[in-house]
Amino acid sequence: MGLPVKQRKKFVSHKKRWDKNTIVSEAELVNDYALKNKKEIRKVELLISKYKKIAKELNRNSTTKESEQAKHFIETLKSRGILNPEATSLDEILDINLRDILERRLSNIIYKLKYAKTPKQARQFVVHRHVKVGGKVIDSPSYLTTLAEEASVEFSPYSALSDENHPERKLTMTGVEEEVAVQEERAEVAKVEGKEQGPEFDKKEAQMDDEEQDEVKE
């Protein structure tokens, strides 16, 4: 932990802060993995830099390259699902990217297991303490789930979502599509009804707008 007065930086500052391509790519990551903000990306970048630093140090000479420590490090990353299961060399650690880490976030695992309709909803389930991993409630969406733990991800028995008949659990992808179709149908009906009402409807709408403007002026 270290001394409280000497807090270590948990993220790296970006070198291309105002680069358009960087901004667009990071916005995609925030959307795809329901990140709270871009600081979460900075934390992942720091973690990747640590992994690569260790790999480079072990890869300096043939002695450390083939050591038990190097093999253990490779196996550890493979067990966490970050490294390819077929990886055998330290060089492959240098190819780890942001998505390799973000894919192992608990919120993303929940979404991949189809326990949630969207990544954002998956994050909400975790934050609201609906999810257990290995029998323990985890409320951190950024928790990196190992391959062994992935099989034990489930809803807490104290959560309403543990019931298979819960409305949120019934909404599969087909259910979501049907729900969207219903909403579009309702919107179309409302649009047609508005047209059928003709000038009278437009007159009422204009009157409501005038009333709202008068309230703002007051």
Q: How far apart are CA 102 and CA 55, in angstroms?
A: 20
- Cα dihedral 106→109→113→116 (10° resolution): 60
Task: Please tell me whether the overall predicted TM-score, pTM, comes out greater than 0.95 for this model.
Answer: no
pLDDT band at 168 (very low <50, low <70, confident <90, very high): confident
Of 23 and 14, the one with more pLDDT: 23
Q: What single letter denotes the amino acid at residue 155?
A: F
Query: 98-138: per-residue pLDDT in tens?
Result: 999 999 999 999 999 989 888 999 999 999 999 999 999 99
Query: 27-38: per-residue pLDDT in tens?
Result: 999 999 999 999
Res 103: pLDDT: 95
How far, in Å, are 33, 34, 115, 203 from residue 106 at the CA level?
10, 11, 12, 53
